Amino acid sequence: MDLPDTTETEIHNLLRQRLSNITGVKLLGWNPPNAKTYGLPNILIPKFREQRRAGSDRVDACMTYEDVLILTEIKAASSEMVADIAKLRRIYSYWDLLGITQILTRQGIRFSPIPRAVVPAIAFGTLDSSLPQDFLCWHVQPGVYRQIAGVQIPEKDAEVLRRLRAAFERTQDNPEM
Amino acid sequence: MGVVLTASSQYEVWCDKPSDKDLVRAFSRVSAFWSRISSVQIIPNMSREKLVANPRLAAIAPLLDYDRPDMIIMLGGRPVLVIEITEHGYTGDNPLQRFARLARAAEMGIPSIHFTPFARTRYDEMLYTDNPTSARKVSSRLFEGFLRLTRVYGVPVVAMDWAVSRQGLPIRPSNDNEIRQIYGEVIDYAEHLCEHDGEHVLHGESILNCQVIARAIEATKKKAAQSNVLESEIRIENVPYPRVCQLVSEPKSIVDLIGSDYFMKGKDHKLVALRAIEDSVVESVETPGGLLDVSSARADVGRLLPAQFGEKAWLVFYSGYEWRSQPNGGIVVNTEILYCRSEFGKTVRDRNQYLVVVWPRVFWNRSHPRRIALLRELEAFVDSSQTTRLGQLIVQKRIARGIPLDHPNYVAYNADSIGTWAEGGEAGRIYRNYCDLIILNDRVLLGNHWKM
């Protein structure tokens, strides 16, 4: 199916709107392309454990669904996401679930329930590359919402994400599915 | 007969970013005044010429001469209020980042609001600990600058506090009630100013005696009175003109003026600037009559420049920053208005002191061999800590200050680390407008007001 090009900003808006309407999703932070937001905070993750002033990574979207914490990067096309995937992997190489939840708590985020797992995610408008198998992937276009969970996501988390998929891909907005 | 403006349906708002537009929409959900605003649009990205040629945008074009304010409220097609909203507080130079755009509004006789946390925690501190980190207060120079703009131009430039959470972060709204709690002061002040004083603003009449406005100015005055900044080491006042001429012919002499100790403490990037100073040679000078090669006539530089330059003392401001628009632009405008401008001087020609900025990390000539060499040296140091002059300076500093030699340095490399002047860029436009002289690494530039 040929889909029109959708800009990164449009993907942000579509994804945010979609997720906002799903029961069980709690949006915690959002960093739009112009890096300016008055509602949800920008979420920062320090680059290294010890080295202050080494800088921080901004995560585009941060949310919980049930007891899974999802850190998401967003671009117009999946092929543009090499650096974003590397960034999320770098975050996971330095911080475990406890570390990430601590960092978010320090930024004023309150969890209920406390996340049991953290899953990296990417969202894009054009699917033009292979997808990472350890990531949750959202393919978003106007009127089209697909969720693809990588096979390397642990089964317990995948089970939760299957429930999210059902809500995410609601057929009334997704006639071609 | 004057313009009769009765209904707030004649209000419109121009915004910088989509998020600003969203915020205006949020204001409209909690305020009858804001809900009556007929149009909320994003300022298109276009050249000044195109803005001026567009009948709907011509009136805001001058407000965008330096950079773009977050919101411009228009009444009957003309601006009556500028609003700047930033969560980025912190002390030092950072809070001055938005100063230039508010100065521009004041120059045009347009009131403004600067909404920011007056004290907040730094992310790079609070992200690493569960212990409370101290809040950093916004530099009182910001508030002093607002008061000075108010006095000079006779329009209110006021600061309003963005409340912070227990962690010291600016509170963000999660529902409409919180929008009013957080932004209520801005929402109400804007309504009052537009509805009661908007027409006076349009007619160029003073609104400083209005009670609501006077209260906001008084609050800003109180913040300004709580001085929280040390005397700057890089702002040297009452410098005689011959000493400024020496800076042109011998740029390295800035180190004597500031004191070499300044470079040997604090951030390592000061030493990147010191490296640029060490190699700096001014080869050409802009004069009212045109560009002159001074590589063989440096001693006569004072005679090449306007004769008036010898009639007043100078303020020498040193910038060790890399090439970037902010906070450089805001700092220079704040410095000019606070320390150089005469009591009620409305233009940059009305000076008590002339202003020269020394900016050694910026070249006029992008391809200058000295720039390329400095960049290569910096890249080599950052990539592999190779033995370089910069590396030697950092070691020298470590030894002098008793810092372990393996202490991490925070020197970064990119093409702008040793940058090039961009005439049309934000910093270029601001510096040209506010400085009398700008001493780059390889060229001296003249302020716009001195060009023939």
Banded model confidence at residue B348, pLDDT cuts 50, 70, 90 = very high
pLDDT digits over B349-384, tens only?
Answer: 999 999 999 999 999 999 999 999 999 999 988 887
Rounded to the nearest angstrom, the minimum Cα separation between B311 and chain A is 45
| Sequential pLDDT tens for chain A (177 residues) | 445 567 898 999 999 999 999 999 999 999 988 767 788 888 999 887 555 556 788 999 999 999 999 999 999 999 999 999 999 999 988 899 999 999 999 888 999 889 999 999 999 999 999 999 999 999 999 989 999 999 999 999 999 999 999 999 985 554 443
User: In this complex, which of B19, B22, B128 lies closest to A46 when CB atoms are compared?
Assistant: B128
**Above 90 in pLDDT, residue B442?**
yes
Instruction: Give the whole-angstrom CA distance, residue B452 versus residue B314.
Output: 22
First to last CA, chain B: 41
Q: What is the pLDDT of residue A2?
A: 47
Determine how many CB atoms are found less than 10 A away from the CB of residue A170.
Answer: 13
**Higher model confidence: residue A174 or residue B270?**
B270
pLDDT at site A174: 47
Tell me the C-alpha distance between B160 and B117, whole Å: 8
Q: Which of A29, A11, A13, A19 is nearest to A169 (CA)?
A: A19
Q: Which residues of A touch B268 (CB under 8 A)?
A: none
Which residues have CB under 8 Å from B195's CB, separation 6+? B8, B33
Terminal alpha carbon distance of chain A: 11
Contact B362, B323 (CB under 8 A): yes
Average pLDDT over residues B441-446: 97
**pTM more than 0.90:** no
CB B16 within 8 A of CB B69: yes
Which two structure tokens, joined as six digits, stand for A30?
Answer: 């959002």
Q: What is the DSSP letter of A116?
A: S
What does the mean pLDDT of chain B come to? 91
Q: For chain B, say whether A39 makes contact (Cβ under 8 Å).
A: yes
Token pair in block for residue B292: 């002159």
pLDDT at A177: 38
User: Phi and psi for B100 in degrees, rounded to 5?
Assistant: -60, -40
What's the whole-number mean pLDDT along residues B305-320?
A: 95
β-bridge mates for residue B420, sequence order: B363
Give the tens place of pLDDT for each residue, B146-198.
Answer: 999 999 999 999 999 999 988 888 999 888 889 999 999 999 999 999 999 99
Q: Give the whole-angstrom CA distance, residue B228 versus residue B106.
A: 25
B444 contact A CB<8A: no
Place of tokens 């600016």: B170
Q: Looking at residue A176, what is its pLDDT?
A: 43
What pLDDT sits at residue A1?
44
- Peptide bond preceding A113 in cis form (omega within 30 of 0): yes
**pLDDT attached to residue B92:** 75
Check CB contact under 8 Å for A107 and B22. Answer: no
| Mean pLDDT value of segment B39-64 | 93
Task: Give the per-residue pLDDT at B428.
Answer: 94
The helix/strand/coil state of B139 is coil
Where residue B283 falls among pLDDT bands split at 50, 70, 90? very high
Report the pLDDT averaged over residues B119-140. 84
Better-scored residue on pLDDT, B7 or B33: B33
Q: Note the helical H segments in B193-228.
A: 198-202, 211-225
pLDDT digits (tens, 9 = 90+) for B67-105: 899 999 999 999 999 999 998 877 778 889 899 999 999
pLDDT bracket for residue B267 (50, 70, 90): confident
How many other C-beta atoms are found inside a 10 Å radius of the C-beta of residue A11? 24
Q: What is the pLDDT of residues B405-426, one digit of tens each?
A: 888 777 888 889 999 999 989 9
B13: helix, strand or coil? strand
Establish if A107 touches chain B: CB-CB under 8 angstroms.
yes
Contact residues for B444 (Cβ-Cβ < 8 A; gap 6+): B248, B282, B284, B285, B286, B301, B437, B438
Residue A56 to residue B127, Cβ atoms within 8 A: yes
Closest alpha carbon within chain A to B411: A54
Q: Are B114 and B84 in contact (CB under 8 A)?
A: yes
B404 has pLDDT over 90: no
Give the pLDDT confidence score for residue B4 in this predicted structure.
Answer: 47
- B99 burial (CB, 10 Å; 0-12 / 13-18 / 19+) is buried
Predicted confidence band of residue B327 (pLDDT cuts 50, 70, 90): confident
At residue B85, the pLDDT reads 95
> What pLDDT is attached to residue B294?
84
Out of B17, B129, B169, name the one closest to residue A108 (CB): B169
Contact check, Cβ <8 Å, B173/A41: no
Q: Prior bond to B18 cis, omega within 30? A: no
- The C-alpha atoms of residue A149 and residue B116 are separated, in whole angstroms, by 41
Task: Report residue A122 as tokens.
Answer: 């990417």
What pLDDT is recorded for position A4?
Answer: 53
Does residue B58 contact residue B33 with C-beta atoms inside 8 Å?
Answer: no
User: Nearest CA of chain B to the CA of A133: how many Å?
Assistant: 30
Q: Which of residues 76-135 of B touch A (CB under 8 A)?
A: 85, 123-130
- Judged by a CB distance cut-off of 8 A, whether residue A103 touches chain B is yes
3 state DSSP class of B450: helix
Q: What's the alpha-carbon Rg for chain B, to the nearest Å?
A: 24
Inform me whether the pLDDT recorded for B227 exceeds 80. yes
Query: Chain B contacts of A103, Cβ < 8 Å?
Result: 127
